[in-house]
């Protein structure tokens, strides 16, 4: 495995380097033209991403086919969630400064999703689902704020229906069609959560909320699903249910991109693994090569032992 040099930021971070959301993803003239086809979920080249005044993703180059399954692992703070947020177009790549001869020349960043580098975000949200506590809104497992307390009265079905509008709850002005209702019920059934349809979010356990989050992410019947630490806060039975739900979705042709700290979360169908460290992807390869004790011991800087039960890995 590659040994990391201290983090090097080739860009000087200035306000001018960030782009505003209505320019997503690149201001004209700064990106490569759209090059990949619909067969690709994601193409990222030469991407750096900052949070506040820190560059937290460095020199990302990544290609993921539509329907492909990928697991992403790495130590706390290495940038996994930031990568997911970048894929979800919540965050934008830094643009290299132009005309500054004191800076080394950097190739322009490129991100394309499903073969396009320009998207109406509302349309894009219909193309893939995401399950992440940072986006969960009504179904967040975090303590509710005042808006959240309204959302807590939302039923499971309404929280799923609100997913059609990327809304935290089903506000009265939102127009719900019969087709949307059918799709919401279909999404709930797909992850065996039909019995939660009438239950209030505020009265659900963390595991039940997680299922509602997944159903929300499925309402558009996405080809790709991004799951950021989906087993957090789940008890043993809920973890098993989650694993079974993931396998069912994969069998149905949904590609999973899974961020996790738990090897036991990674279904055997996920063969491709990305390892991240200090904001970089330091390895990208088959699970048999990367999910090993020596590789993970180096990555996490502690002794990691790996066992196998049937087709499932576990670590301690």
Ligand X SMILES: Nc1ncnc2c1ncn2[C@@H]1O[C@H](COP(=O)(O)OP(=O)(O)OP(=O)(O)O)[C@@H](O)[C@H]1O
- Mark 24-63 as b/e (b = at least 16 C-beta within 10 Å): bbbeeebbbeeebeeebbbbbbbbbbbeeeebbbbbbebe
Least distance in angstroms from the C-beta of 279 to ligand X: 7
> Locate tokens 């999910």: which residue?
291
Structure tokens at 72: 């992403």
Give bridge partners of residue 54 from the DSSP assignment. 51
> For residue 316, how far is the Cα from the chain centroid?
25
Structure tokens at 230: 């989906």
Nearer to ligand X, 57 or 204 (CB): 57
Least distance in angstroms from the C-beta of 304 to ligand X: 15
Nearer to ligand X, 18 or 34 (CB): 18
Least distance in angstroms from the C-beta of 262 to ligand X: 11
Nearer to ligand X, 80 or 216 (CB): 80
Please answer whether residues 226 and 172 qualify as being in contact, where contact means their C-beta atoms are separated by less than 8 angstroms.
Answer: no
DSSP state, residue 125: H
How far is it, in rounded angstroms, from Cα 300 to Cα 262? 13
Nearer to ligand X, 51 or 189 (CB): 51
Q: Which of 232, 230, 233, 236 is nearest to 213 (CA)?
A: 230
Classify 251 as helix, strand or coil.
Answer: helix
Nearer to ligand X, 81 or 315 (CB): 81
Structure tokens at 315: 């670590």
**β-sheet with 224-228: strand ranges across:** 128-131, 224-228, 255-259, 70-73, 272-277, 280-286
Nearer to ligand X, 83 or 167 (CB): 83
Least distance in angstroms from the C-beta of 261 to ligand X: 6
Least distance in angstroms from the C-beta of 96 to ligand X: 20
Least distance in angstroms from the C-beta of 54 to ligand X: 5
Helix axes 206-218, 236-251, angle to 10 degrees: 10
Nearer to ligand X, 56 or 62 (CB): 56
Residues near ligand X (CB under 6 A): 51-52, 54, 56, 74, 76-82
Least distance in angstroms from the C-beta of 167 to ligand X: 24
**272-277 and 280-286 beta bridge pairing:** antiparallel
Least distance in angstroms from the C-beta of 91 to ligand X: 10
Nearer to ligand X, 46 or 278 (CB): 278
How far is it, in rounded angstroms, from Cα 68 to Cα 72? 13
Within the chain, how many helices (H) and strands (E) appear?
A: 9, 11
């Amino acid at each position: 495995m590659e040994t990391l040099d201290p983090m090097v930021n080739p860009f000087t971070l200035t306000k001018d380097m960030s782009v505003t959301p209505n320019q997503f993803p690149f201001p004209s003239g700064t990106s490569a033209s759209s090059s990949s086809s619909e067969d690709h979920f994601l193409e990222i080249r030469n991407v750096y991403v900052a949070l506040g005044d820190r560059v937290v993703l460095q020199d990302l180059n990544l290609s993921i086919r539509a329907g492909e399954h990928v697991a992403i692992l790495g130590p706390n703070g290495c940038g996994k969630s930031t990568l997911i947020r970048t894929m979800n177009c919540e965050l934008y790549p830094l643009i290299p400064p132009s005309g500054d001869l004191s800076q080394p020349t950097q190739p322009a960043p490129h991100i394309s999703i499903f073969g396009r580098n320009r998207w109406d975000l509302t349309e894009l949200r219909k193309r893939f689902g995401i399950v992440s506590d940072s986006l969960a809104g009504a179904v967040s497992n975090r303590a509710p704020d005042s808006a959240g307390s309204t959302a807590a009265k939302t039923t499971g079905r309404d929280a799923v229906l609100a997913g059609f509008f990327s809304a935290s709850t089903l506000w009265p002005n939102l127009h719900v069609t019969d087709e949307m209702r059918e799709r919401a019920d279909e999404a709930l059934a797909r992850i065996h959560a039909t019995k939660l349809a009438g239950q209030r979010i505020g009265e659900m356990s963390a595991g039940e909320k997680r299922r509602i989050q997944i159903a929300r992410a499925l309402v558009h019947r996405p080809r790709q699903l991004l799951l950021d630490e989906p087993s957090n806060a789940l008890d043993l039975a809920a973890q098993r249910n989650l694993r079974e739900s993931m396998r069912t979705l994969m069998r149905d042709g949904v590609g999973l991109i899974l961020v996790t700290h738990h090897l036991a979360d990674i279904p055997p169908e996920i063969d491709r693994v990305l390892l991240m460290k200090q904001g970089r992807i330091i390895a990208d390869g088959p699970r048999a090569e990367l999910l090993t004790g020596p590789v993970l011991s180096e990555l996490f800087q502690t002794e990691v032992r790996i066992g196998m039960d049937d087709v499932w890995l576990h670590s301690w």
